[in-house]
Amino acid sequence: MARIMIVDDEAKIREVVREYAEFEGYEVVEAEDGMEAVEKIREDKNFDCVILDIMMPKLDGYSACKEIKKLKNIPVIMLSARGEEYDKLFGFEVGIDDYVVKPFSPKELMARIKVVIKRADHNDSEDVITYKGLVINFAAREVIIDGKRAQMTPKEYDILFFLAKNMNIAMSREKLLEEVWGFDFYGDDRTVDTHIKMLRNSLGPYRDLIVTLRGMGYKFDNIRK
């Protein structure tokens, strides 16, 4: 049984999400603010997903997400009444895996939870790709560049792993949004370009392995040819 944490200072929202989540078969733990969530995860890291509000007392969602990711790379879905692109991009930069704007459909949220948990499980079951000084370790969810561990955001890992697993296959921006961001992402495909730029910077000398397909999207170069 997958285990999730609902973090929101509004009891009604926690109640609604819990009701739907338990109906889907999830075990649910609640927290009223970001600080309580971090403390609970510090004590028990056995969670498969965290649903995290942004505007909360004591510790906001962005800060809580950063602290949670330091403890364990648990998928985080951010809830927010703010739907501006800047807020979403900032969320992805600090490590969230998906972004849901309030008011939201509980059924849609359940679908998004299912996607991020499935994606995390899939990423943990793969092998290792090695090319010169680049090592992509899917099981450990880490990337080594010339002997040093790369510092990437969770979304950069997701994009790289997806492209690498589909080596030399052309991926449109729409396909990347669908597969990496998950269920019915509402956003601009410029989001993909922004994250690809960040990923290339993180890859350093191996940045050219992410090939731009003009007018189409991207692919990971066939390093096994």
- Domains in the chain (CATH in brackets) are 3-122 (3.40.50.2300), 126-220 (1.10.10.10)
Provide the token pair at 224.
């096994």
Read off the pLDDT of residues 13-35 as tens digits, 9 standing for 90 and up: 999 999 999 999 999 999 999 99
* Tokens, residue 179: 């597969």
Chain segment 73-107, per-residue pLDDT in tens: 888 999 887 766 777 788 788 888 888 888 889 99
- pTM for the predicted model, two decimal places: 0.58
What does each C-alpha distance from 20 to 4, 9, 96, 141 come to in angstroms?
12, 18, 22, 30
Q: What confidence score (pLDDT) does residue 187 get?
A: 58
pLDDT in tens, 138-174: 877 889 999 999 999 888 999 999 999 888 889 998 8
Asked if pLDDT for residue 210 goes beyond 90, the answer is yes
pLDDT at 76: 92
Predicted local confidence at residue 109, as pLDDT: 92
